[in-house]
Amino acid sequence: MRNLRHLSVILFVLVAMICFFSCDKSRPGSFEVGEGSFLLNGKPFVVKAGEVHFPRIPQEYWEHRIKMVKAQGMNTICIYVFWNFHEPKQDQFCFEGQADVRSFVKLCQKHGLYVIVRPGPYCCAEWEMGGLPWWLLKKKDINLRSLDPFFMERVKKFEGKLAEQLADLQITKGGPIIMVQVENEFGGYGTDKPYVSAVRDVLREVGWTDVPLFQCDWSSNFEQNALDDLLWTMNFGTGSHIDSQFNRLKELRPNTPLMCSEFWSGWFDNWGRAHETREAKDMVAGLREMLEKNISFSLYMVHGGTSFGHWAGANSPGYQPDCTSYDYDAPIDEAGRATPKFWLLREMLQQFSDKKLPEVPEALPVIAIPKFELIEFAPLADGFGGLKTTEDQNNLTFEYNNLGWGSMFYITSLPEVSVPSVLKMDAHDYAQVFINDKFVGRLDRRIRETSLTIPPTKEGDVIRILVEATGRINYGRAIKDFKGIVGDVTLTPILQKGEAEAICLTGWERYGISDDYKQAVSALEGFSGKRVDEYHENFKDEVKLFGTRGYYRGTFSLQETGDTWLDMSTWGKGQVYVNGHAIGRFWEIGPQQTLFLPGCWLKKGENEIIVLDVVGPQKSFIEGLDHPILDNLRQPTPVITPLDGETWQGDGPGAVWQGDGPGAL
């Protein structure tokens, strides 16, 4: 009996050891830069990564998307970590809920995927200010992405907090993280090796010491900031000539492993430009060629997702605001479904795998929601937040007034001008001008509108300028993108003979309208949730001034939940909140006409929706479709040509839409 017990113990120990060595995914390992190849635990390894941004995916869907990436045939997931998402206010760090990057990385490991971390501090990614926090701009003279002492102090603090979350998940400590990026495409910003070196040193100091550090850029500029002790990788997209992208790198480092750290599967969309797509066969051909040549890659994007809330940025030069959808024409679409690109790529990647790829997860349920009306209303003025008076006439920006995102009313009195005059200002980004109770015009930064003609005025006439911020620039030198009115506002009489002197308007009162859900609820409750028809009947003065601009609230009831797309094609410009979740920006000009609404944010029974429309809708109805509309550009649009000294990134700007739009009274 005793021998039997001993045998049972021995068998138990053997089974436990077998399970540990064969099933445990947290054993310490190694990932190194070898001669001509990456080495995973000492053996040659080709990185087949897909880029995924966890803030662009509801937390409830993270695991589904990770499974989709693995079923695509990838062995690694690449992530940006957006600084402003984790420190929305200075010294208020968040790594919980939707911002729980540690949980996302551990989910990747759970499903046998390695992770590449790209912690900035600058990311780009068509994300608000490229991932940099807006509150940095409260220090007006700050030099971003430089050795500016305040900037580097904040970089070190953020990177330290992030390392507390992730550094112990490096592969040498039993985690899935195999590489970490230093800064991002700095050649598109400038040449500053001391700064790039300082970021490298910060990352090492906070704990990224066990895995290779790398820097990425384009083949045309990577030498400008290349550091000798970092791995160099290239970024390029579908249709590129692969060998030419690496020619110079192979001359300088003939034995280095080659990697395309961003192989663009598609492209992003801008408001007022045609929807972007790329050919599936061209994407797959480029990836196949790299694999045949033992070149590692990260497919940007394998799944794009959605820039919920106010997180979509804007491209530059010029001002090209990014759409809410970040579908990117990726193999896995915005709702996490397999596209024809997915299946073509999966078939090819299966040929480069010695194991059968996992089954593709089922698509999540999709529903349609019958049309419903939003009948509660509050005028835009009921969203006013704090007031800033006239302490600094030279600083009318949101940042000076402690407003990160949203809109601001600027109000002052006008002098008497007996003839029409030209009102001139630099408004970031969409300004609407009212004199007394009349709407007189708008200025759209996209199409470089900085002035408009206004009628004669009497002394004491009131001018109100409503400026809505769309998204801070995320690329190039223009990322120092202040919002609101930037500089002076002047009035120049139009004379038949001679030139009149410009009058600088002063004495501005400033009323901020934050674009968050709590502010929207407060506005509606402060107005006692009046019906739209009741507002028009009983508040005629407000109707004259604000028209249909304001907050709308409605409800819809569901028996079953599922993903859907809100049709916003009858609305003007603004934001949507469903059950407290910020769904994103809409704008009638297109090309995007629907907003993706994840089913995990819906519930059986009654659901609440609030729309903030700063232009005003044609009709205050919404329905939920079972498909997106991402390619409906409303009107033919003029091309914006570069100014002197400007060069366009990538394909350059497309057409932009021009017109009066709704809301003119």
CATH of the domain at 113: 3.20.20.80
Q: Are residues 431 and 562 in the same domain?
A: no
Q: How far apart are CA 6 and CA 46, in angstroms?
A: 46
User: Can the peptide bond before residue 317 be classed as cis, meaning omega within 30 degrees of 0?
Assistant: yes
Which pairs from 196-203 meet CB under 8 Å and 24+ separation? Answer: 196/225, 196/227, 197/227, 198/147, 198/152, 199/121, 199/155, 200/227, 200/229, 200/230, 202/152, 202/155, 202/156, 202/159, 203/119, 203/159, 203/163
What is residue 364's DSSP assignment?
P
Query: Which distant-in-sequence residues (6+ apart) come within 8 Å of 166 by Cβ?
Result: 101, 102, 105, 117, 175, 177
277 within a domain of the structure (yes/no): yes
- At residue 662, the pLDDT reads 27
- Domain's final residue, options 515, 545, 563: 515
Domain that holds residue 400: 380-515
36 within a domain of the structure (yes/no): no
- At residue 538, the pLDDT reads 65
Which tokens in the block code for residue 240? 């590129």
CA dihedral 130, 133, 136, 140 (to 10 degrees): 60
User: Can the peptide bond before residue 420 be classed as cis, meaning omega within 30 degrees of 0?
Assistant: no
Task: Quote helix, strand, coil % in the chain, to nearest 5.
Answer: 25, 30, 45
Residue 454 near residue 498, CB atoms below 8 Å? no
Q: Are residues 374 and 319 in the same domain?
A: no
Check 128, 185, 334, 468 and give the catalytic one. Answer: 185
| Nearest C-alpha neighbor of 513 from the set 401, 406, 364 | 406
Q: How far apart are CA 184 and CA 173, in angstroms?
A: 26
Which tokens in the block code for residue 572? 């003007």
- At residue 663, the pLDDT reads 29
Q: How far apart are CA 350 and CA 298, in angstroms?
A: 17
Q: Are residues 337 and 439 in the same domain?
A: no
Q: Are residues 509 and 533 in the same domain?
A: no
Q: Are residues 526 and 481 in the same domain?
A: no
Annotated catalytic residue 334: no
Q: Are residues 374 and 426 in the same domain?
A: no
28 within a domain of the structure (yes/no): no
Q: How far apart are CA 450 and CA 583, in angstroms?
A: 30
Residue 552 near residue 376, CB atoms below 8 Å? yes
Residue 95 near residue 54, CB atoms below 8 Å? no
What are the b/e assignments for 111-126, b being 16+ CB within 10 Å?
bebbbbbbbbbbbbbb
**Tally of structural domains, the chain:** 3
Residue 544 amino acid letter: K
657 within a domain of the structure (yes/no): no
Q: Are residues 174 and 297 in the same domain?
A: yes
Q: Are residues 493 and 530 in the same domain?
A: no
Q: Are residues 426 and 532 in the same domain?
A: no
- At residue 382, the pLDDT reads 75
Q: Are residues 509 and 541 in the same domain?
A: no
- CB atoms near residue 3 (< 10 Å): 7
72 within a domain of the structure (yes/no): yes
- Domain's final residue, options 451, 482, 515: 515
Q: Which residue has the tokens 């600027």?
A: 410
What is residue 220's DSSP assignment?
T
640 within a domain of the structure (yes/no): no
Annotated catalytic residue 185: yes
Residue 491 amino acid letter: L
Which residues make beta-bridge pairs with 170? 177
Beta strands in 614-658 (DSSP E): 621-625
Q: How far apart are CA 387 and CA 37, in angstroms?
A: 60
Residue 99 near residue 55, CB atoms below 8 Å? yes
528 within a domain of the structure (yes/no): yes
- CB atoms near residue 238 (< 10 Å): 21
- At residue 498, the pLDDT reads 79
- At residue 384, the pLDDT reads 73
Q: Are residues 375 and 440 in the same domain?
A: no
Mean pLDDT by 10 residues, the chain (665 residues): 47 41 67 97 98 98 98 98 98 98 98 98 98 97 98 98 98 98 97 98 98 98 97 97 98 98 97 96 98 98 98 95 98 98 98 97 98 93 62 82 95 96 98 94 96 96 97 96 97 90 94 92 80 67 76 97 98 98 98 98 98 96 98 75 55 28 27
Q: Are residues 85 and 139 in the same domain?
A: yes
Which tokens in the block code for residue 83? 């600084």
Residue 604 near residue 562, CB atoms below 8 Å? no
What is residue 390's DSSP assignment?
S
Beta strands in 197-325 (DSSP E): 213-217, 231-237, 259-264, 296-303, 314-315, 320-321
Residue 81 near residue 158, CB atoms below 8 Å? no
Check 87, 262, 334, 542 and give the catalytic one. Answer: 262
240: left (phi over 0), alpha (psi -120 to 50) or beta: beta
25 within a domain of the structure (yes/no): no
CATH code at position 448 = 2.60.120.260
